[in-house]
Amino acid sequence: MNRLLILCTLWLALVSGVARAALPAAELEGLASDDFDARQAAVAGLVARGDEDARRVLQALSEDALMVAGKRLVILAKDGSASDAATGAPLRPAPANPEGVSLNNSLRQTVDGALAGFALLSPDPAARLQAARALQADMGDAAALLPLLDKALKQESDAAIRAVLVPLHAQASLHAEDPALRLQAVKDLSASASPAVKAMLLELLDKQGDTYNEPNEGVRAAAQSAVKAIDARLVWSDMAGRVFTGVSLGSILLLAALGLAITYGVMGVINMAHGELLMVGAYSAYATQSLFRAQFPEYVDYYLFAAIPVAFGAAALVGMALERLVIRHLYGRPLETLLATWGLSLVLIQAARLLFGAQNVEVANPAWMSGGLQLAENLSLPWNRVMIIAFSGLVLLLVWLMMNKTRLGMFVRAVTQNRPMAGCVGVPTARIDTLAFGIGSGIAGLGGVALSQIANVGPDMGQGYIVDSFMVVVLGGVGQLAGAVWAALGLGVVSKFLEGWVGAVIAKILVLVFIIVFIQKRPQGLFALKGRFVDS
C-alpha cells in the first residue's frame, strides 16, 4: 500500500513537472528583448501554441502584469503575489523592483486579437460564436492569428460558427507564404458582400513601383474576379439601402403633406406656416422628454408614447388659433393669405427661439429604438427609421378611417368637393374649416415627433419641408390621400437615388423641374377629385 502511494506521488510530481515545463523559457525570451522583431516573434509563437499556458502569458501581457526580474519573466498579480511566467509556479518572495514589459499599439492589437481568438477553442458554442463575431469586427494582425484559426476551424463542427470562421481564416491566409493558400483564401472571400473584404482584395492588386503586392498572377486574376462578384452584391445592397432611406424620407413628407392636403383641399389656403407646425410637434417631444427626465427618470424610454398626443394637441391648438384669428378673415384672397401665413411662420420661429433658445436641442431616441436590423454587411436598417415608417402607416390608416368612416370626414369631403352646396344642405362650413385646420395641423405635429428622432430640433427645422410638402400635395392631387401617399414615397425614393448620382442640390432642382412639367401635362395631379363643382 505504501509502495503504491509512493508511485502515485511520483507520477503526480512528474506530470506536474511536465505541465510546468510545457512552456519553454526560451520561447519567452523575446518578450523581454528591446528588439521589436524579437518581441513580435515571441507573441506569434505564443499565438501558434494556442494552449492554456500561452493564453495565461498573453493575458498577463495584455493587463501589463508581465514583468522582467533579472533574466526571468514573472507575472505579478494585483495582490502583489508573483508567479513564474514559463511554469506558472508561485515565487516566494516576489522579486523586488521588476520592470514591466511594454507593448506598442500594433503588438497590443495582436495580443488582444489573440486573446479573443483563444475563446474560439472554448467548449461553449455561444462563447465561440461570440469570439468569432468579435474577430470579424476587428481582427488586428490577421496573419498572426492564422495558426489559432487553423486549429479552431479543424475542430469546429457547428455550421453557424464555421460560416464565420471560414472568411476569417481566408482573411488571415491572404498573406500566407504558400500561393495555394492565398488562392484558396481569395476564392473563399469571393462569396463575401463586405466593403472591407473588397478593400483587402484590392490591396493585392496594388503596385509598389512595377511590382504587384500579390506576386502570383493566378492569385491576382482570382482577386479581380472576386472584386467583381463583391461589387455586384454591393450594388444590390446599396440600392436596397437607398430605397429604404427614400421610404423613410417619404414617410416624413407624408406626415407633413397629409395635414396640408386636408387644409389646402378644404379651404384652398396656401399655409406657409405649415412647416412651423412640424417644429411645434418636435419641440413638444423635447418638452415631454425633459419632463420625463426630471419627474419620471425610470420611464424616460417611454416618453414618446406621451409625446404623440401632446404634439398632436399642441400643433392642433396652434393651427386652430391661426385659422380663427388670421386666416378666416382672408378667405378668397390668396396673395394676402400667402403673405400672412409667411409672417406667422416668422412669429412662430421667433417664439421658439425665445422659449427654447436659438440653438438646436437634443431629442434622444429611446433605448428600444437604438441600433438597427443588419441585413447585410453594408446594409443596416436603423430601428428609428423603421419605427417612423410604421408610425406613418398607422397615422395614414387613422386619417383614412376618419375621412371615410366618420361624420366629420364626410363633412370635410363635402366641403372639399363643393363648398356652396355643402353649406346649402346644412354643413357648418365655418366650423369644419376650423376642425379641418386643427386636424391637419395636428398631423403635422405628429410629423414633427417623427422628424425629431432622425434630425436636429431647432427653430428653423420646418422651413426645409414646406416646399416639399406642397410638391407632394400638388403632385398627388389636392385632397387625395392616395395621391399624397404615392407622391410622398415616390419623391422620397427618387430624391435619394438622384442625390447619390448628382448631389442634393441638383437632385432637388431636377425633382422640381419634373413636377413643373408634370403639372403642365396633368394639372389635377396623379389622382383628381370627383364632384360636380370640381369637374365643372
pLDDT in tens, 471-507: 888 787 765 677 788 888 888 888 888 887 887 788 8
Residues 172 and 50 in one domain: no
The answer to the question of residue 231 being in a domain is: no
Residues 53 and 154 in one domain: no
Q: Are strands 211-212 and 379-382 parallel, antiparallel or unpaired?
A: unpaired
Residues 399 and 299 in one domain: yes
How does the average pLDDT of the chain come out, rounded?
80
Cell of 327: 386666416
Q: Identify the DSSP state of 95.
A: P
Low-confidence ranges of the chain (pLDDT < 70): 1-23, 25-27, 48, 50, 113, 116-117, 136-144, 265-267, 377-378, 478-480, 527-536
What is the structure's pLDDT at 116?
Answer: 67
Tally of domains in the chain = 3
Q: Is 324 exposed, middle or buried (0-12, 13-18, 19+ CB in 10 A)?
A: middle
SS (H, E, C) 332-345: CCHHHHHHHHHHHH
Residues 309 and 458 in one domain: yes
> Where is the domain boundary, 446, 465, 484?
465
The answer to the question of residue 497 being in a domain is: no
Residues 32 and 67 in one domain: yes
> Where is the domain boundary, 49, 83, 103?
103
Q: Which domain holds residue 450?
A: 250-465
Q: How far apart are the first and last CA of the chain?
A: 117
The answer to the question of residue 2 being in a domain is: no
Number of H helices, E strands in the chain: 21, 9
The answer to the question of residue 511 being in a domain is: no
The answer to the question of residue 221 being in a domain is: no
Cell of 171: 482573411
Residues 146 and 45 in one domain: no
Q: How far is CA 403 from CA 228, 232, 262, 420, 510, in A?
A: 52, 46, 10, 20, 34
Residues 322 and 458 in one domain: yes
Residues 85 and 118 in one domain: no
Residues 274 and 415 in one domain: yes
Q: How far is CA 509 from CA 227, 249, 498, 503, 513, in A?
A: 35, 17, 10, 10, 6
Q: Report how far residue 34's alpha carbon sits from residue 401's, in angstroms, rounded to the nearest whole number.
A: 77
What is the structure's pLDDT at 6?
Answer: 40
What is the Cβ-side half-sphere exposure of residue 355, based on CA atoms within 13 angstroms? 14
> Where is the domain boundary, 48, 83, 103?
103
Residues 147 and 294 in one domain: no
Instruction: Determine the distance from the C-alpha atom of residue 156 to the mean position of all C-alpha atoms in its chain, rounded to a whole number.
Output: 32
Q: Report how far residue 208's alpha carbon sits from residue 219's, in angstroms, rounded to the nearest whole number.
A: 17
What is the structure's pLDDT at 456?
Answer: 85
The answer to the question of residue 164 being in a domain is: yes
Residues 383 and 260 in one domain: yes
pTM of the complete model: 0.68
The answer to the question of residue 223 being in a domain is: no
pLDDT, one tens digit per residue, over 270-308 is: 788 888 999 999 999 999 999 999 999 889 989 999 999
The answer to the question of residue 515 being in a domain is: no
- Can you name the residues that pair with 207 across neighbouring β-strands? 212
Residues 132 and 74 in one domain: no
What is the structure's pLDDT at 479?
Answer: 59
What is the structure's pLDDT at 535?
Answer: 44
